[in-house]
Amino acid sequence: MEETRYEAPTTIAQAARLLAEPGARALAGGTDLIVQMRTGRGEPRLFVDVKRIPELASIRLDAKSLWLGAAVPAALVVENRDVARLFPGLAEATDLIGSTQIQGRASVGGNLCNASPAADTVPALIALGAVCVIAGPQGERRVPVESFATAPGKSVLAAGELLVGFELPLPAPRSSDAYLRFIPRTEMDIAVVGAGVSVALDAGGVCTQARVALGAVAPTAILVPAAAAALVGSRGEDEALARAAAAASAAARPIDDKRGTVEYRRKVSGVLTKRAAAAAFERARGARA
Amino acid sequence: MARVFFSSGLRRQVGGAESLELEANDVRELLAALDAKFPGFAAQIGEANAIAIDGEIIPHGEALFERLRPESEIHFLPKIGGG
Amino acid sequence: MSGNDGRTPSDKKWKYIGTRPIRHDGLDKVTGRAQFGADYALPGMLWGKVLRSPHAHARIRKIDVTAALALDGVKAVITGRDFPNVASEAAEGGEGAGDMADLAMNVIARDKALYHGHAVAAVAATTARIAEEACKRIAVDYEVLKPVLSLDEALAKDAPILHENARATGHEPLPKGPSNVASRREMGRGDVAKGFADADVVVEREFRTPMVHQGYIEPHAVLARTGQDGRAVVWCCTQGAFQVRAYSAKVLGVSTDMIKVIPTEIGGGFGGKTTIYGEPLAILLSRKAGRPVKLVMSREEVFRASGPTSGTHVRVKLGATRDGKLTAGEAVLVYEAGAFKGSPVTAAMMTVFAPYKLANVRIEGWDVVVNKPKVTAYRAPGAPMAALAVETVLDELAEQLGLDPIDLRLENAVHEGVQATYGPKYRAIGFVETLRAAKSHPHYKAPLGPNQGRGVACGFWFNAGMSSSANVSINEDGSAVVVTGNPDIGGSRASMALMAAEELGIPVESVRPVVADTEAIGYTDVTGGSRVTFATGMAVIEAARDVVRQLRARAAQIWSVELDAVGWEDGRAVLLAEEKNGHEPLSLAQLAAKAANTGGPIVGRAALTARGAGPGFATHLCDVEVDRETGAVKVLRYTAVQDAGKAIHPSYVEGQYQGGVAQGIGWALNEEYIFDKSGVMENAGFLDYRMPVASDLPMIDTVIVEVPNPMHPHGVRGVGETPIVPPLAAVTNAVQRAARVKLAELPISPPRLLEAIDRSA
Amino acid sequence: MKIHVHTRVNGEATEFLCTPERSLLEILRDELQLTGTKEGCATGDCGACSVMLDGRLVCACLVLAPEVEGRAIETIEGVAKGDQIHVLQKKFLEHAALQCGICTPGFIIAAKALLERNPDPSEEETRYWLAGNLCRCTGYDKIIHAVLDAAADLRGGAR
């Protein structure tokens, strides 16, 4: 039987070296990795616990952006005042990850690296225009969140690379975001559909910029420019929301599975886009001018 | 004369009767009387059944020695367990 | 009943029963000390692991265990060939226990694997990891067969056959030759055709419900130690230690005295732990290895390889006159048994119309095998799915007749003296009382908002009797010990102690209730069938009364009077004569202190097969709100009204009502086994099986109606099962009214409801 | 290769040896004989194995044993102090908030974590906080009542 190892590096360079070894997997909260292991979907030969690396374990605010370390547990993200104030949609998406217990461990970085199309924080991050900072043997590179996952369970990370964290550009005046997901129960489910929306308004309350992202309706979370275009120029009236909803439904390319049908996911993509957009408008109107 | 009732499933065994009156002091005698009239009946009412005498449901084995009154009403039931 | 007084339950003033003491096992359970199935360990213990079939239907050509045995740390490997052939005979236990020969083949496959997850081999090794690795090295040569995964597939012409040599039993017409029909039965009376002809309104509907699991939180666990003499001691979490002993002995071909079963604390069962799975495997592994073996199922194994309850297809037709009198009822109930015969369809046939006066009924029940796990009892086995059909049809009749749904039910509700659709006449029952209590409950009058709806539904369960033993012994200081053989699954120790306290006249805190192993108490049937408080309680009462007789005899001896001259009042022996001659009453403690000098220790015993189980009826009210854009359903309010006969410990009676409701809501809205085309369950975990979580439910109001069961000395009816019977229909009726749709299938998942809403729009 | 891990369990310095893939839950139950923490699923979906890790509520089944090096763990066995049970334990008993009892340790740990952060939770907050703890027996009703009543008690007033 194969021997497994566990390492807990304290620098990015050490982590990158370890992650270059065959069978190595980064361990942050472990809420996906350990479940995959226990349900027979492969056991790593080397666990690289990245939680002791300062860059991955911190949240920092500077003049231009907010830094969100990849391994910060969800509970700390939700409790962070800056995140709640600046990115309420991301806070609500993070708060939807699993149970209280799961939030004590699961990280936003892990949520993205697992590359599930249904990850709750990913549409919220995409809506915010967040950028991934990736470190590896060749140094650092930056990738927009929407380009990170390439297929279910697959990402742009090469051997030896690790996701260090996210840069979230600070919101423009009169802008805000929202995230909604649909699950059959009230908690403890994987999103059947998730919708993240961010909007920026001018002084007259007209939308000047928008981003709409959907989760669980395609092999990866997707950015839906057509839905965003429907919002731009509007004040969030029902008619504009309906057009955004129709665009979202049209952009959804879901599958039938145990969690929902194609037909259902298409419809609910529109419903959630509409509702999340309405919430984002409402918040933006109340946001700092 | 005790009155025995037959559910539709059993009725074929007894020539279609919904109920019959029979002379019997206890369930064993009753079953013997039924078996004499309708050969194979007692076997059909096997261990997997229960017998209700005047509304009280009694497992088959234990019911055999149960005394019957002239006005007794007897039903044959499947035995019920539970969860 | 042979009591020491002739008073009936209803006119008696109770002192202890009906109060709410802290349960005796409570402290251990809130501090983590209580030991459940997987909490036991022994020196030198090995870890067992089961290799399960990756195919839903396959012939097993050959099993090669050489590579597994060669692995360092592996101490024993067993397959079906290590077990004797077991003769066909009825297995006595929970509902649908089935046949011993089938049960043996369910424990481990022989020639054929009949569902995905069917045990094929088992390993014992020094660590769980090695045991798992060894399982991977067992080579099984399968001939994969086409699986049968639904009732329609099973009954189709040219369907693959699970059991080639089996033939359908029951009432003609039956399939000729091999088929997947295990049995077909009919029940009924009166003239159904005439009954429907007499009706002004007839409603007929079909429903489908999926296979669902009991969902107990504790996976099956067993620890077995077998000596050189072949005697085994088994620790396991079970609803019936005596069933584990009996079944395991049969499966292993040994006599009953070779196995001692020590029931551990049990983390839920709901019927699912009335049979055996790993117990014989652990015993045989420990015999082969000469060391103790612990075998614990994973959650995934619990879903794939223990016994859920049937998927069903039910058709119900009811006719009524304009003023709401039911004239005839017809039901066709088709139930999945899983891989072996024995669905709860018979119970469904008996319960389907049981709450209603119906002179003309025809009921047909089919027991059908499919390539899915063999079903096991689940709380009121078979009844909820049948009630779903009847209660939704009644709701539709009420709508069509313009009647209040409770009034329609009151018009037709059974009561004492009415002949049940399953045969005998009811004795005292409390169905009408539950309907009246529901109708006058504030819930029933509360206003509803937009997209909200209220559902009413009723339910019935027989409650079982079966066999129980009890010992009550008096300690030297006048405290007492009550010993029974029923694992305490939900507070039954407290109920046993309360009943003993009532009879003995001592505080319930002075009574220690104990759950004994199979060698320390007489035979006792399962903790199930809502029978523990009723039947085992009856044994405890008899044993306590035996103690009281002995105590009176001791007092008579001390006072030099006849036994009949001594009464028992409030925990004291009293001289009944007017002239006391200075004989002050003797308390139980005083008599206990003199026991050694008046004839020895005082121990009361009872062993009985309980008669007179009183049927339990319930009426439930459910309010929901529907999101018309997503199909989401939120349960806003729920009230469960049920006749308990007499609630011994009202808190745990309420708990039974609430727990049954929660399970029923889950069944109605989200729970289901989802299989892929090859018969692999796709949602074998709590994440995707979707049982209700705390935020899914409102508070669940309860109303305990008490119409004493005249056949029980304290008036008790079983209460555990009835609560799961109405919720499927209560929720469905509420959703149908809220969303203005008609539904024909559970669960009412959001996609299914949204589709129905869009179709109706 | 086994790893030597040093940790504190219920305030006591504790060491154990483990292979890296083992979970904290397995170590607690099988190596440290702290079987009060239960396994219901081993995939983080039932909360029966709830423990506190450095003051955070987590599922012990989703923590790898070597991760607890240098950290502090609290389990159900540490909730009662000497002969004094915690008010939550008392309220669970009084409200009959357990039937089979297998989920009870997890619920008490999770509820304790809630009340330590929020002394006056609403019913809805309590239900959502406890959504990761499955109970199949009670329908949650009496559990929620017990937690809310314990909160009131801890705040020092009758509700």
Residues of A in contact with D45 (CB under 8 A): 188
Cα within 13 Å of Cα(D21), Cβ side? 20
Q: For A194-220, what is the mean pLDDT?
A: 97
Provide mean pLDDT across the span D27-32. Answer: 98
> Under an 8 A CB cutoff, do A100 and D20 touch?
no
For residue C720, the chain B residue with the least C-alpha distance is B83
Q: What is the pLDDT of residue C566?
A: 97
SS (H, E, C) chain A: CCCCEEECCCCHHHHHHHHCCCCEEEECCCCCHHHHHHCCCCCCCEEEECCCCHHHHCEEECCCEEEEECCCEHHHHHHCHHHHHHCHHHHHHHHCCCCHHHHCCCEHHHHHHCCCCCCCHHHHHHHCCCEEEEEECCEEEEEEHHHCEEECCEECCCCCCEEEEEEEECCCCCEEEEEEEECCCCCCCCCCEEEEEEEEECCCCCEEEEEEEEECCCCCCEECHHHHHHHCCCCCCHHHHHHHHHHHHHHCCCCCECCECHHHHHHHHHHHHHHHHHHHHHHHHHCCC
pLDDT one-digit tens code per residue, C461-475: 988 888 999 999 999
Per-residue pLDDT, averaged over C263-276, amounts to: 97
Nearest chain C CA: its distance from A269 CA (Å) = 10
Interface predicted TM-score (ipTM) of this complex, two decimals = 0.96
The class that CATH gives domain A175-286 is alpha beta
Can you give the pTM of this predicted structure? Answer: 0.97
- What is chain A's length? 289
How far does CA B33 lie from the centroid of its chain? 10
* Touching chains D and A? (3+ Cβ pairs < 8 A): yes
3-state secondary structure chain D: CCEEEEEEECCEEEEEEECCCCEHHHHHHHHCCCCCCCCCCCCCCCCCCEEEECCEEEEHHHCEHHHHCCCEEECHHHCCECCECCHHHHHHHHCCCCCCCCCHHHHHHHHHHHHHHCCCCCHHHHHHHHHHCCCCCCCCHHHHHHHHHHHHHHHCCCC
C–D CB contacts, 8 A cutoff, strictly below: 185
Closest C-alpha to A223, from A95, A125, A90: A125
C-alpha span between C469 and C467 (Å, rounded): 7
Inter-chain CB proximity C694 and D133 less than 8 Å: yes
User: B14 pLDDT exceeds 50?
Assistant: yes
Residue B47's pLDDT band, with cuts at 50, 70 and 90, is low
Q: What average pLDDT does this structure show over A79-103?
A: 97
Nearest neighbour of D137 by CB, restricted to C32, C33, C659? C659
Confidence of residue B50 (pLDDT cuts 50, 70, 90): confident
| C693/D41 Cβ within 8 A | no
Confidence of residue A287 (pLDDT cuts 50, 70, 90): confident
Residue C508 has pLDDT above 80, yes or no: yes
Q: Do chains C and D touch (3 or more CB pairs under 8 A)?
A: yes
Closest Cα of chain D to A187: distance in Å? 6
B54-63, C258-267, C325-334, range with the lowest pLDDT: B54-63
Q: Does residue C303 have a pLDDT over 70?
A: yes
Task: Say if strands A207-215 and A222-223 run parallel, antiparallel, or are unpaired.
Answer: antiparallel
At which residue do the structure tokens 């551990």 appear?
C264
**Stretch C620-647: mean pLDDT, rounded?**
98
Distance from the A71 Cα atom to the nearest Cα atom in chain D, whole angstroms: 14
Average pLDDT over all residues of chain C: 96
Query: What is the CATH class of C9-34+465-609?
Result: alpha beta
Say which range, B11-25, C434-448, C654-668, has the weakest mean pLDDT: B11-25
**Does C683 contact A258 at a Cβ distance shorter than 8 Å?**
yes
Domain boundaries, chain D: 3-78, 87-155
Distance CA C190, CA B18 (A): 8
Token match 């600046």: residue? A86
Overall CATH class of domain D87-155: mainly alpha
| Whether A186 and D128 lie within 8 Å, measured CB to CB | yes
CB pairs under 8 A between A and D: 92
CATH code of C437-461+614-760, in short, is: 3.30.365.10
Summary mean pLDDT of chain B: 84
Residue B80 sits at φ, ψ, to 5 deg, of: -115, 135
Predicted pLDDT at D159: 42
The residue ranges of every structural domain in chain C are 9-34+465-609, 437-461+614-760
Selected residue with higher pLDDT from C1 and C118: C118
**Range A22-38 average pLDDT:** 95
Subunits with 3+ Cβ pairs within 8 Å of B are C
CB contact under 8 A, D142 and C651: yes
Look at residue C266 and give its three-state secondary structure: coil
Tell whether the model's pLDDT for residue C6 goes beyond 60: no
Pairing of strands A131-136, A162-169: antiparallel
Of the candidates B47, B55, B59, which has its C-beta nearest C426's C-beta?
A: B55
Mutate which: A99, A107, A188, vs D, most D CBs within 10 A: A99
Rounded CA separation A72/A56 (Å):
7
Q: What are phi and psi of A219, to 5 degrees?
A: -60, -25
Predicted pLDDT of residue A1:
62
The domain segmentation of chain A, as residue ranges, is 5-169, 175-286
Residue C3 pLDDT > 50: no
Q: Can you list the domains of chain B with their CATH numbers?
A: 2-78 (3.10.20.30)
At D40, give phi and psi (nearest 5°). Answer: -110, -25
C-alpha torsion angle, residues A120, A121, A126, A129 (rounded to 10) = 160
- Give the C-alpha separation, C194 to B24, whole Å: 34
Query: Taking 60 as the threshold, does the pLDDT of residue C9 lie above it?
Result: no
Query: A184 and C750 in contact by Cβ < 8 A?
Result: yes
Half-sphere exposure of C602 (CA within 13 A, CB side): 32
Return the pLDDT at C91: 85
Q: Which of A31, A37, A258 to mutate to test the interface with C (most CBs of C within 10 A)?
A: A258
Question: Phi first, then psi: what are they for D52, rounded to 5°?
Answer: -100, 130
C180 CA to chain D: closest CA distance, Å?
33
Q: Which chain D residue has the Cα nearest residue C702? A: D141
Distance from C-alpha of C724 to C-alpha of C747, rounded to nearest angstrom: 15
Q: What is the pLDDT of residue D157?
A: 59
Give the pair of three-digit tokens for residue C495. Answer: 């109920």
| Chain A CA closest to residue D63 | A30
Instruction: Please give the pLDDT value at position D38.
Output: 98
- Tokens representing C223? 């620890």
Judge whether C487 and C521 are in contact, CB under 8 Å.
no
Residues 6+ apart with CB under 8 A from C201: C319, C320, C322, C397, C400, C401
**D155 pLDDT higher than 80:** yes
B82, pLDDT greater than 90:
no
- The reply to whether A8 touches chain D by the CB within 8 Å rule is yes
User: Does A touch B (3+ CB pairs < 8 Å)?
Assistant: no
Q: Identify which of B18, B56, B81 has the shortest CB distance to residue C97.
A: B81
Q: Averaged over C478-499, what is the pLDDT? A: 97
Q: Percent of chain A, pLDDT > 90?
A: 94
Find chain C residues with C-beta within 8 A of D126's C-beta.
Answer: 694
- Counting every residue, how long is chain C? 761
Q: DSSP per residue over C141-178, as a string? A: EEEE-----SHHHHHSTT---S-TT---EESSS---SS
* CATH no. for A5-169: 3.30.465.10
**Percent of chain C, pLDDT > 90?**
93
Over range C96-109, report the average pLDDT: 92
Choose from C690, C691, C746, C757 for mutation: most chain A CBs within 10 A: C690
Class of domain D3-78: alpha beta
Q: Are C259 and C249 in contact (CB under 8 A)?
A: yes
> What chain D residue is nearest to A98 in terms of C-alpha separation?
D132
Q: C707 is written with which tokens?
A: 């119409």
Is the C-alpha dihedral spanning C119, C120, C124, C130 positive or negative?
negative
Rounded average pLDDT over B21-36? 90
Percent of chain B with pLDDT over 70: 96
